[in-house]
């Protein structure tokens, strides 16, 4: 079985000092760089939002960051403006190796957020990653990156549902833990058969 490493959103805005910093987020860089040595197939995802994205609290003047709103596809957490296309915040952490096989940008549709590396948050719009992995004969995935309870967890759950054998390397992830989201994500991943 061919295995791939998927590196999720290790970008400046999710690291200390960034617009949506994950606590200790930059601590994932060294373990991820080491993991890259062990995989022939390495995919990096990159959050890539246009300005005014509907997942930004700034697009909803009556709302504050981390509140929720209802969008066409359901409940959406509203985030501080982050990972805006072409900005330093959207760039990968300077110490992260980026010499993988594919860089997959997500969240670039202004009306739909995209946590998962496989589907946008409407749960219908595909990113193309599944087709890419199928073409390469990949059946096992190791996921690492930011944040454990959002983009990593959503990607892991979708991968498991698509039939991959999925492992999340918790030493190479960090979470936001918004109102218990980390515990909930861990329970959901375990229930879906994800290994750690």
Q: Any idea which residues carry the catalytic annotation?
A: 9, 106, 151
Q: Residue 159 to residues 78, 85, 97: CA-CA distances in angstroms? A: 25, 26, 23
Q: What is the DSSP letter of 50?
A: P
Q: Is 155 left (phi over 0), alpha (psi -120 to 50) or beta?
A: alpha
Q: Are 106 and 90 in contact (CB under 8 A)?
A: no
Separation of CA 124 from chain center: 17
In a 10 Å sphere around its CB, with 0-12 CB exposed, 13-18 middle and 19+ buried, how is residue 44 labelled? buried
Give start and end residues of each alpha helix (H) in the chain.
Answer: 29-36, 129-135, 153-161, 181-191
């Amino acid at each position: 079985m061919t295995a791939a490493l998927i590196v999720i959103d290790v970008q400046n805005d999710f690291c200390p000092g960034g617009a949506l910093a994950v606590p200790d987020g930059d601590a994932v860089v060294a373990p991820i760089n080491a993991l890259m040595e062990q995989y022939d197939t390495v995919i990096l995802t990159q959050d890539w939002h246009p300005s005014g994205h509907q997942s930004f609290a700034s697009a909803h003047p009556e709302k504050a960051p981390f509140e929720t709103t209802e969008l066409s596809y359901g409940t959406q957490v509203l985030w501080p403006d982050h990972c805006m296309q072409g900005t330093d915040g959207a760039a990968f952490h300077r110490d992260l190796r980026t010499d993988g096989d594919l860089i997959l940008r997500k969240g670039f549709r202004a009306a739909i957020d995209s946590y998962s590396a496989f589907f946008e948050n409407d749960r219908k719009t595909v990113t193309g990653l599944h087709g890419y992995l199928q073409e390469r004969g990949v059946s096992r995935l190791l996921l690492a990156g930011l944040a454990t309870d959002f983009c990593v967890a959503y990607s892991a759950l979708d991968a498991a549902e698509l039939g991959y054998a999925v492992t999340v390397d918790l030493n190479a992830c960090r979470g936001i833990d918004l109102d218990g989201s980390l515990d909930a994500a861990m329970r959901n991943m375990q229930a879906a058969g994800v290994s750690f």
